[in-house]
C-alpha cells in the first residue's frame, strides 16, 4: 500500500475494513450460547472479542482520530479493555449481550466509513498513509485469528468449512539452504502499516547458517515422538521438561491416538494425521526440544528474517520472501482460505531469494528469540501494543499461519507468546550454524 494515495488509498482501506468484517461475521454467526460460552480459560468468549473489536475501532477512529464522545457508558466501555480483565475472567463480566454487541460494532463501523470518506490522510502522524485505519484492520484480523483458535478449541459439531489445503507438491530438492554470512536490513521504516515493534530498520550482521527449506512436517515430528522424545530430558529446556511432566504432554495439541496411528482434531472433525503437512499446535518448549533432538536448533529472529527477506542479487531486504508484491493465493496459505497447513513444497511461487519455502502462511514459526525492542525502538501509538510485553517472558513467532490475513502479516511482522502456549497455529523450522568450511563455499 506504500504508493497509494487519496481516493485509491481510501478505497483500499474501506475494502480491507469490509473484508475483515466479513470474516468477523463468519466467525461469530453462531448461536448465542456458542457466542457466550468460554471454550477454554485461555480464550475469551467470542462475544467479548466481537465487542472488543468494535471498541478498539471506536477508541482509535472515532474518539481519537475524529474527536467524538464515547458511545458506551464508562462502566460498559471498560469491560473491553484487555488490560483490566484477564481472559479467564471475561465470561463472568456483565458483557453486552449478542444482539447489542452486533448493533454496537455495526454502529461504530458505519460512522468509521463516514470518517474515512472525509478525513485528510496526511498532516497527522497517526493518519499518514492511513496508518490508524490500517492498525484497526490488523487488530480486527488478529482477533479473527484468535477467534479461529477458539473455534479449534470448541467441542461439538463442526461449524467452519473450507477446501483442503493444496496437497500434491514436489518437495524442494534439498532439506536445508545455506544463508551466507553478512549484514542485512532487519525491520522497516517504510512499510506504512508496520507496527512499532517492527521499527526502525537497522543493520544486523548474521553469521552464515543453514535453515530448513520447509517447516517441520507431521512425519518429522512423529519420528521425534516415536523415538521417545517426550520421555527424554536430554532434548528439553529445563523449564520445558518440568512443563512436559506436569502438563502430561505426549504429542502436539489436538493429536489423538498412539504408536503408529494418529489422528488430528481439526475444527470439529477427527481426521487421519496428514504426514506431509507442517506440524501445528506445538509450544515453544516442544519446538525447541524437537530441534535439539534433530541435532539442530531454532533459528533466531534475525536469521528467520534474513532467510525471508534478503536478496543477494541487490543486497536489499524485500517486503515478502517472493518480493515486494502483496500476497496472493499463489504465494502462501494465508487468510483462512484453508483450515489447515498445506503440504511441504505446495507454494513454490512464494519461496525466498535463497529458495526457502513457506516462510509466510501455513504455521507461525517459533524462533529462539525473546521479544525485545529493536535498537532505537519508540512505542507508538500506544505502549500497550508491544512495549509492555518486552523482556524474557515471551518468544517471538514469525511468518503468519493459514489463519492470518495478508493485511496483518509481512516478513517484518513479529508475533509473540508464552513458551507454553499451543492453541495458536504454531509450528517451526530448524536451523544450524555453518562451519567455517561450509561458510566459505
Ligand atoms: C500480537 C497477537 C500477540 O492478540 O495478544 C490484539 C495482538 N493486541 N489486541 C494479541 C493484539 C491487542 C496480540 N498479538
Ligand atoms: Fe485487542
pLDDT number for residue 50: 98
Is 421 annotated in a binding site? The answer is yes
Alpha carbon 33 to chain centroid, angstroms: 28
202 is annotated as contributing to ligand binding: no
CA distances from 220 to 182, 224, 271, 305, 368 (A): 31, 7, 18, 24, 20
State the distance from the centre of ligand 1 to the C-alpha of 142, rounded, in angstroms: 6
- Is pLDDT above 80 for 169? no
Ligand 1 atom, smallest distance to 52 CA: 9
Q: Are 395 and 413 spatial neighbours (Cβ–Cβ below 8 Å)?
A: no
Closest Cα to atom 7, ligand 1: which residue? 142
Atom of ligand 1 nearest to the CA of 414: 1
Please spell the DSSP secondary structure of 366-413, one letter per residue: EEEEE--PPTT----S-TTTTGGG-SSS-EEEES--TTS-GGG--TT-
Report pTM. Answer: 0.97
Q: What is the pLDDT of residues 135-160, one digit of tens each?
A: 999 999 999 999 999 999 999 899 99
Counting residues of the chain whose pLDDT is more than 70, the rounded percentage is 99
8 CA distance to ligand 2 middle (Å): 28
Q: Which of the listed residues 56, 142, 366, 405 should we mutate to test ligand 1's pocket, taking the one with most ligand atoms within 8 A of CB?
A: 142
Output the residue whose Cα is nearest ligand 1's atom 8: 385
Nearest ligand, CA of residue 141? 1
Q: How far is the CA of 345 from the centre of ligand 1 (A)?
A: 29
CB neighbour list of residue 102: distance below 8 Å, 6 or more residues apart: 28, 50
- Quote the pLDDT of residue 67: 97
Distance 142 CA to ligand 2 centre (A): 8
**What pLDDT was estimated at residue 260?**
82
**Torsion angle of alpha carbons 298, 289, 171, 323, nearest 10°?**
-20
Contacting residues for 304 by C-beta, under 8 A, at least 6 apart: 211, 359, 365, 367, 398, 399
Please answer whether residues 320 and 331 qualify as being in contact, where contact means their C-beta atoms are separated by less than 8 angstroms.
Answer: yes
**Site residues for ligand 1, CB cut-off 6 Å:** 139, 142-143, 146, 385, 415-416
Q: Which of 143, 195, 199, 127 is nearest to 384 (CA)?
A: 195
Give residue-wise pLDDT tens across range 276-312.
999 999 999 999 999 999 999 999 999 999 999 999 9
CA distances to 52, 101, 143 from 72, rounded to whole Å, are 12, 11, 21
Minimum-distance ligand to the CA of 56? 2
Contact of 16 with 137, CB cutoff 8 Å: yes
Residues 107 and 132: their CA atoms lie apart, in Å, by 19
90 is in an annotated binding site: yes
pLDDT band at 1 (very low <50, low <70, confident <90, very high): low
Query: What's residue 2's pLDDT?
Result: 64
**Is the predicted pLDDT of residue 172 greater than 80, yes or no?**
yes
Of 368, 394, 343, 421, the C-alpha closest to 169 is 343
| Nearest atom, ligand 1, residue 389 CA | 3
**Helix/strand/coil (H/E/C) assignment for every residue in 183-249:** EEEECCCCCCCCCHHHCCCEEEEECCEEEECCCCEHHHHHHHHHCCHHHCHHHCCHHHHHHHHHHCC
Ligand number nearest to the C-alpha of 385: 1
Looking up cell 495458536 gives: 424
Q: 60: which 3 cell numbers?
A: 482509535
316 is in an annotated binding site: no
Residue nearest to atom 9 of ligand 1 (CA): 139
Amino acid at each position: 500500500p506504500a504508493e497509494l494515495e487519496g481516493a485509491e488509498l481510501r478505497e483500499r482501506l474501506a475494502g480491507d475494513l469490509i473484508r475483515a468484517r466479513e470474516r468477523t461475521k463468519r466467525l461469530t454467526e453462531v448461536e448465542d450460547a456458542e457466542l457466550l460460552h468460554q471454550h477454554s480459560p485461555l480464550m475469551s468468549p467470542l462475544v467479548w472479542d466481537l465487542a472488543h473489536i468494535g471498541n478498539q475501532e471506536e477508541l482509535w477512529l472515532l474518539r481519537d482520530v475524529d474527536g467524538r464522545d464515547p458511545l458506551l457508558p464508562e462502566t460498559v466501555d471498560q469491560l473491553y479493555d484487555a488490560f483490566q480483565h484477564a481472559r479467564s475472567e471475561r465470561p463472568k463480566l456483565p458483557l453486552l449481550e449478542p444482539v447489542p454487541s452486533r448493533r454496537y460494532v455495526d454502529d461504530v463501523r458505519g460512522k468509521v466509513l463516514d470518517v474515512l470518506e472525509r478525513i485528510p490522510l496526511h498532516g497527522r502522524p497517526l493518519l499518514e498513509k492511513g496508518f490508524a485505519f490500517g492498525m484497526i484492520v490488523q487488530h480486527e484480523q488478529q482477533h479473527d485469528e484468535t477467534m479461529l483458535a477458539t473455534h479449534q478449541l470448541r467441542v461439538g459439531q463442526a461449524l467452519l468449512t473450507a477446501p483442503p489445503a493444496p496437497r500434491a507438491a514436489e518437495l524442494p530438492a534439498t532439506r536445508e539452504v545455506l544463508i551466507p554470512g553478512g549484514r542485512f536490513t532487519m525491520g522497516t521504516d517504510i512499510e506504512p502499516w508496520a507496527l512499532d515493534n517492527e521499527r526502525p530498520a537497522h543493520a544486523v550482521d548474521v553469521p552464515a547458517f543453514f535453515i530448513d527449506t520447509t517447516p517441520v512436517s507431521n512425519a518429522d515430528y512423529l519420528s521425534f515422538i516415536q523415538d521417545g522424545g517426550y520421555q527424554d530430558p536430554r532434548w528439553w529446556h529445563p523449564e520445558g521438561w518440568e512443563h512436559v511432566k506436569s502438563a502430561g504432554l505426549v504429542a502436539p495439541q489436538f493429536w489423538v491416538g498412539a504408536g503408529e496411528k494418529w489422528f488430528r482434531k481439526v475444527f470439529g472433525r477427527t481426521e487421519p494425521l496428514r504426514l506431509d503437512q507442517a506440524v501445528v499446535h506445538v509450544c515453544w518448549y516442544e519446538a525447541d526440544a524437537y530441534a535439539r533432538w534433530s541435532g539442530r536448533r531454532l533459528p533466531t529472529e534475525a536469521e528467520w528474517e534474513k532467510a525471508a527477506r534478503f536478496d543477494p542479487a541487490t543486497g536489499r531486504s524485500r517486503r515478502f520472501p517472493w518480493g515486494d508484491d502483496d500476497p496472493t493465493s499463489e504465494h502462501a496459505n494465508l487468510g483462512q482460505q484453508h483450515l489447515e497447513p498445506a503440504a511441504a513444497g505446495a507454494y513454490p511461487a512464494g519461496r525466498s531469494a535463497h529458495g526457502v519455502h513457506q516462510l509466510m502462511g501455513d504455521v507461525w514459526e517459533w524462533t529462539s528469540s525473546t521479544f525485545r525492542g529493536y535498537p532505537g525502538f519508540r512505542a507508538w501509538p500506544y505502549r500497550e501494543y508491544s512495549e509492555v510485553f518486552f523482556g524474557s517472558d515471551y518468544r517471538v513467532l514469525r511468518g503468519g499461519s493459514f489463519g492470518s490475513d495478508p493485511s496483518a502479516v509481512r516478513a517484518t511482522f513479529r508475533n509473540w507468546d508464552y513458551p507454553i502456549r499451543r492453541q495458536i497455529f504454531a509450528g517451526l523450522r530448524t536451523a544450524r550454524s555453518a562451519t567455517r568450511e561450509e561458510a566459505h563455499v
